A and B are shown apart, each in its own frame.
Chain A
């Protein structure tokens, strides 16, 4: 079945460092791909999305490109801030079933130190 795999965390970086969080997926069809962020004590909120191959989603300095050939959707940011400390979830829209369901990766905790 469809699945999402994220890199293990936690990831600890210094402020202004470059961030990459890897995400790969397995799916039939052509799923939509998402990154959600969960700040401490809050629910998940959509960070960015891409709906077809080679699309680049971007928001708040974060970017991710839908790579069909490598089935990946890695999250990147050129210069992280302390305020980016959160848990990041990669997810796919269940492409084969068209049910509106999302399948989430296990989440990656990012801690940014001043």
Chain B
């Protein structure tokens, strides 16, 4: 079984709808991330969480919200979807060994392709 899973894998929705993308991991990592990928722009960080009680905005958080329900689960919501949120969304996890001993390697899910009409 995959270590990082995302549901759904594909979603088509309409402008104004609320959408939730879910991410689960079995790696036991504390840190989780949400990115979006757009052609020519690489991956941009939306939100990240270092533990269940910690949520941080990334570089493009407007229009998105997140929930860290448990160590293993991190959900991304689009409260009112708009067409320019059409993109490929990735969840990722990383380990943490302690201050000054960052483990930057991240492990990615397979992605969710979201289309907003």
Contacts and interface: CB of A to CB of B under 8 A. Distances in A.
* Among B31, B43, B92, B108: residue with most chain A CB under 10 A: B43
Contact of B42 (A32, A98, A99, A105): A105
A43 B31 contact: no
B104 A93 contact: yes
Interface in A38-66: 41-46, 49
Instruction: Say which size band chain B's interface belongs to.
Output: 20 to 34
* Among B48, B90, B106: residue with most chain A CB under 10 A: B106
B43 A104 contact: yes
Contacts of A25: none
Interface string B66-94: 00000000000000000000000010101
A101 B45 contact: yes
A114 interface: no
B104 A106 contact: no
Nearest to B35: A104
B41 A43 contact: no
A22 to B, nearest CB: 15
* Among B42, B44, B90, B108: residue with most chain A CB under 10 A: B42
A101 B99 contact: no
A98 B110 contact: no
